[in-house]
Structure 1
C-alpha cells in the first residue's frame, strides 16, 4: 500500500504534511526523475493533501524563499528547491 492510501485510510482525520516533508518530496522527485523542476500535480501525486493545498503551500514556501518557481505556460508553473535550502 502506498503512503497516500495509508494516509487516506485514517478516515475523518485531515492529513498533515510539514513544510520539510513538502520540500523533501520535491527533492525526491527531482532526484528520481532526473528532472530539475516539478509541477504541482507531480508533487500532489506523492502527498495525501489536495492539489490546491499543495499549491498554496508552495506559494508560501516561495514567499519564504525556500522554493523557487517559474511560469512556463498559460497555466503551468514549475518548482524547485532553493539552492540555499
Structure 2
C-alpha cells in the first residue's frame, strides 16, 4: 500500500522557472498563478515564494486587502 501524502516535491528552482519561462519576464504573478502553473497548492507556492524572497531578488508588493504580487526585478543598465 503506497504512503499517503504528497507525491511531488516542488523546489525554489521550479518557481523561478515559472517567472523566467514566460514571454513577459517582468509581469508580476500571484501565488495562485504560480500554483496553477506548477500544479501545486497555493500554500506550497507561497512558502516557496517567501523562501525565494529571503535568498534571491524575488520581491513582492501588497496590492490590496490580502492580495500580493511577486516578480523578479529587471535591472536595466543606464
Structure with the bigger percentage of helix: 1
Task: List alignment gaps of at least 5 residues for structure 1.
Answer: 1-10
Match of 1:16 in 2: 9
For these two proteins, the number of residue pairs brought into alignment is 72
**Deviation (angstroms), 1:48:** 2.7
TM-score normalised by structure 1 residue count = 0.68
Q: Which has the larger radius of gyration?
A: 2
Task: List alignment gaps of at least 5 residues for structure 2.
Answer: none
Counting only pairs closer than 5 Å after superposition, residues 31-46 of structure 1 correspond to structure 2 as 31=23, 36-46=27-37
TM-score normalised by structure 2 residue count = 0.73
Q: What is the distance in 1 between the residues matched to 2:47 and 2:10?
A: 13
